[in-house]
Amino acid sequence: MSATTATNDAREGLKRMTLSQYPAVQEISMERRKGRGIGWPALLLCCALAGIAVRPAHAGPGDGPSWGAIASMHGWYGYSINHPSRDAAELAARAQCDRAAGRSGACAVRAYFDRSCGALAIGNHGEWGTATAATAGAAGKSAAGRCESHLPTEPCKVVVGVCSPVR
């Protein structure tokens, strides 16, 4: 027996031993050879259908309402996003503000928005301004401008700028 024959025999022995140890692998291999396997087209179809069934966790622009609100009271604020109704968003924003202020019923809703962004800016003498816009940055800039239109004040500071849904 030559070295090549011994090597080939050893390889064949390994193959037989591997398939005999894993009968399920051998059965799958035989099924595919007979043309009764799952096949690539069926696998791709399953993956495509699974992708359709999975939806993102946040709402998209066309997926219905996505309300947000901002509430404040003398330096305290709270906000909410991704709510199905304006009332729910306002309630959540007031509750967050009340918790921060340590008083129940003390905060008032200053802004609300649906599928857009809102911001709150405050001054050092109790002034405030809110605005809504397509982006948080634009809403913040407008809120600061409205806050600064009240006298006396130093430049107002944007304390919150959020979008609903989150962008």
C-alpha distances (whole Å) from 136 to each of 77, 90, 117 are: 16, 18, 5
Predicted confidence pLDDT, tens digits, the chain (167 residues): 545 444 444 444 434 434 444 444 344 334 444 445 555 444 444 444 444 333 333 334 556 899 999 999 988 999 999 999 999 999 999 999 999 999 888 899 999 999 999 999 999 888 899 999 999 999 999 999 999 998 766 789 999 999 998 76
For 75, the 3-state DSSP assignment is coil
pLDDT of amino acid 150: 83
Percentage helix, strand, coil for the chain under 3-state DSSP, each rounded to 5? 45, 25, 30
Cβ 77 vs Cβ 159: under 8 Å: yes
Question: Rounded to whole angstroms, how far apart are CA atoms 61 and 115?
Answer: 6
Residue 129, beta-bridge partner list: 121
pLDDT of amino acid 62: 56
Smallest Cα–Cα separation from 113: which of 92, 83, 156, 142? 83
pLDDT of amino acid 153: 65
Question: Rounded to whole angstroms, how far apart are CA atoms 2 and 81?
Answer: 77
pLDDT of amino acid 166: 79
pLDDT of amino acid 81: 96
